[in-house]
Chains A and B, each alone.
Chain A
Amino acid sequence: MDFLDRFAVPNPGPTIYASMVAIALTTIAIIIGLTYFKKWGYLWREWLTTVDHKRIGIMYLISAILMLFRGGVDAIMMRAQTAVPDNTLLGAQEYNEIFTTHGVVMIIFMAMAFIMALMNFVIPLQIGTRDVAFPRLNALSYWLYFAGAMLFNISFVVGGSPDSGWSSYFPLAGTDFSESVGTNYYMIALQISGIGTLITGINFITTILKMRAPGMSLMKMPMFTWSALITNLIIVFAFPVLTVALAMGTMDRLFATNFFTTENGGMDMLWANLFWVWGHPEVYILILPAFGIYSEIISTFARRNLYGYKSMVYSMIAISLLSFLVWVHHFFTMGQGALVNSIFSITTMAIAVPTGIKIFNWLFTLRKGSIVLTTPMLYSLGFIPIFTIGGVTGVMLGMASADYQYHNTMFLVAHFHLVIIPGVVFAMIAGLFYWWPKMFGFMLNERLGKWSFWFIAISVCLTFFPMFISGLDGQARRMYTYSESTGFGVWNMISFIGAIGLAIGFALIVYNIYYSVRYSPRNIPADPWNARSLEWATATPVPDYNFAILPEVKSTEAFWDSKIYGDKLFNKRIEPIHMPNNSGMPFIMGIIFFIWGFAFVFGLWILLVLSTIGIGICLALRSYEKDEGYYIPVDEIERVEKTGGKKK
């Protein structure tokens, strides 16, 4: 039994037992369902082994929505615990675990996955190509992300969750103060999914630089593609820092090194430093694709071309550079001198300039446009005021001397939620509604969509505005309870009510998906929104090869011009199309990486060595494998094209 003891949760409670039961029941239900409906073969052939960017995008999407609900449940529990003073719903330890997993799940496993989902699905279509540059690596990226996400999620029921915050500062995250394996989970799970993200970064930079449709020069790319290019560039330069920091943290915890300890020459603030060297660019990795999505949606539904295309591009390039210059503003209160804080204060102010340029460009695009108020457009319009409030309070936090007052209070929590929710979550939902017809061949219900928008937009304000006040009154973040005399009670109660509103809003989105699957008409045109970029030039559903003939592009809005001015997009003859073969290898490597991570977390060294060898074998097999792909013959392409994209 000694061996099994290590897997026990250190402080079990009703929430943990409930999730154990829930996980077990869900797993059994999935297995029984797949067997009963004889879907194992389908699942393996069509999804687990796929290298198609569209299917990988949809798998990212499903994972992101699942993680949104995991993180959302955490959020509701936190708001419920702090809704009234001296609440005993959750213990201090449970609360620590919940805010830690909420942060990690939402940033790394929800927001990142959502971005990857939309980038995967849209970018190759938007630049007029048939897949990403390295389709199999793309599948590997997804399965590494998935392995990391699952590893992180089982921490709750096997061995104990991480409990030192999503930023996991040392020395708190060191073995002295975090004795359970929780922080090991954090280190290893982030490492595995981080490798996946890094691979995606390289893959998409190559795709965008090398595989654009003939005639599409860099300055003729759609704005979402531009934002994805910049995002992936930041990924490639920022993620290695996280990789190194996590490796050092893992060694501190498992091999007793002293990088981040407080003795033997270690420096605990070095972790905070490295974490934010990655962490601040990460903020822009999340927000730039969202900016790209808003640019697409706003110009589509304002029925105008994007105002200031060039200034949009240059401001994103400026953001990508400045995002690496500001990280110290996350720890202004560390104790360094005024010179350092002044420097980083100024760079922080500077980054608001290009962001402001983008906001004005959107406003000028809207000006004199004939605006169509669809659900994606509502989210884009709602984003502008709420994000601006979040952004302006960010500038307040960026003033180093004032930051001493705001640091580590609920004011900060309100600020970053009011940036990330309208900036990232609104964009993702807007993108989901916008590209849904291209993904699944029917539209989401507009009426339900608008209801969910109003619920979410109002509830976001209701949840987070009170935190500005309680934060200025001195409520520290991450406090699991407070006494009645502090007077925080009323603000937290309002927050809790807002959180319930948010939950209703997201439940409405899920109900919308269910409702539209059942009742939405299927005979929609390939371009239901009257949009402007190339992804709408494909048939719906998009055939495996995307474009029977690669489009030729003359302007930034080639598809719009083909509709209005009659420019011909497809001029060549149909030729046999070269396609990559499916492969089970990425999925198998994902499983091995999961086992590898699990072995690392618990220090099961034999299993670790075995799974490392397994990874090595997979890599070697791939190196010696001869995989030439296959050709789709012309007559089959013509047949598919005649049926409008449907197979056979």
Chain B
Amino acid sequence: MKELFPRKHVYGFISSLLLSIIALSLYYFDLTFQLSMSILLITAFFQAAIQLIVFMHAGETEDKKSIYITIYYGVFIALVTIFGTLLALIWGYY
């Protein structure tokens, strides 16, 4: 019975619900912009990781390596683009 129970998926489902609730509840708390943004970013990051790994089966085939490399590559480019843009258009002036 223990083997049949999809533990990973149930926990994944519960934690993705929890993460959504935390993110939504920020609306009702009067936090500073920086703090709410940080919480949103962190919850979004974990949410994306859960979706990719648990529900989109990222690590379950023999392509595991190329899938993860592509994801890291994409994340790297996204971060570089965002921070590079912020640097060039906002932070870089003095």
Contacts and interface: CB of A to CB of B under 8 A. Distances in A.
Interface of A: 209, 233, 237, 241, 267, 269-270, 273-274, 277, 321, 324-325, 327-328, 334-337, 339-340, 343-344
29 contacts: A209-B63, A209-B66, A233-B73, A237-B77, A267-B89, A270-B85, A270-B89, A273-B85, A273-B89, A274-B85, A277-B84, A321-B73, A324-B80, A324-B81, A325-B80, A325-B84, A327-B84, A328-B84, A334-B88, A336-B88, A336-B89, A336-B92, A337-B93, A337-B94, A339-B92, A340-B88, A340-B92, A343-B87, A344-B88
The 3 closest A-B pairs by CB, nearest first: A340-B92, A336-B92, A328-B88
Contacts of B88: 273, 328, 334, 336, 340, 344
Interface in B51-71: 63, 66, 70
Nearest to A273: B85
B66 A324 contact: no
B27 interface: no
A277 B85 contact: yes
A277 B81 contact: yes
A324 B75 CA distance: 12
Contacts of A270: 85, 89
A237 B74 CA distance: 7
B76 interface: yes
A269 B92 CA distance: 13
The A interface is mostly helix, strand or loop, or mixed, namely helix
Contacts of A321: 73, 76
A374 B81 CA distance: 44
Nearest to A331: B88
Contacts of A327: 84
The CB with the most chain A CB atoms within 10 A, among B66, B85, B88, B89, is that of B88
A209 B81 CA distance: 27
B93 A336 contact: yes
Given A267-B89, A328-B84, 4 more contacts: A274-B85, A328-B88, A336-B92, A340-B88
A39 to B, nearest CB: 45
Contacts of A337: 92-94
Contacts of B89: 267, 269-270, 273, 336
Contacts of B87: 340, 343
Contacts of B77: 237, 324
Secondary structure at the B interface, as helix, strand, loop or mixed, is helix
A404 to B, nearest CB: 16
A321 B66 CA distance: 16
Contacts of A269: 89
A325 B88 CA distance: 12
A545 B9 CA distance: 44
A202 to B, nearest CB: 12
B24 to A, nearest CB: 26
A269 B88 CA distance: 10
A233 B70 CA distance: 9
Nearest to A238: B77
B54 to A, nearest CB: 24
Given A273-B85, A273-B88, A335-B93, A237 B73 contact: yes
A170 to B, nearest CB: 13
B88 to A, nearest CB: 5
B94 to A, nearest CB: 5
Contacts of B84: 277, 325, 327-328
A343 B83 CA distance: 12
Contacts of A233: 70, 73
Nearest to A205: B70
Contacts of B93: 335-337
A575 B84 CA distance: 54
A334 B77 CA distance: 23
A108 B74 CA distance: 24
Contacts of A335: 93
A209 B61 CA distance: 14
A172 B92 CA distance: 24
Contacts of B66: 209
Nearest to B94: A337
A451 B85 CA distance: 48
Contacts of A336: 88-89, 92-93
A344 B94 CA distance: 17
A209 B67 CA distance: 11
A241 B81 contact: yes
A274 B66 CA distance: 28
B76 to A, nearest CB: 7
Contacts of B81: 241, 277, 324
Nearest to B88: A328
B83 to A, nearest CB: 11
Nearest to A325: B80
Nearest to A281: B77
Contacts of A344: 88
A237 B81 CA distance: 11
A233 B76 CA distance: 14
Nearest to B76: A321
A268 to B, nearest CB: 11
A270 B81 CA distance: 12
Interface in B1-36: none
A341 to B, nearest CB: 8
A328 B80 CA distance: 12
Interface string B32-50: 0000000000000000000
B62 to A, nearest CB: 12
Contacts of B80: 324-325
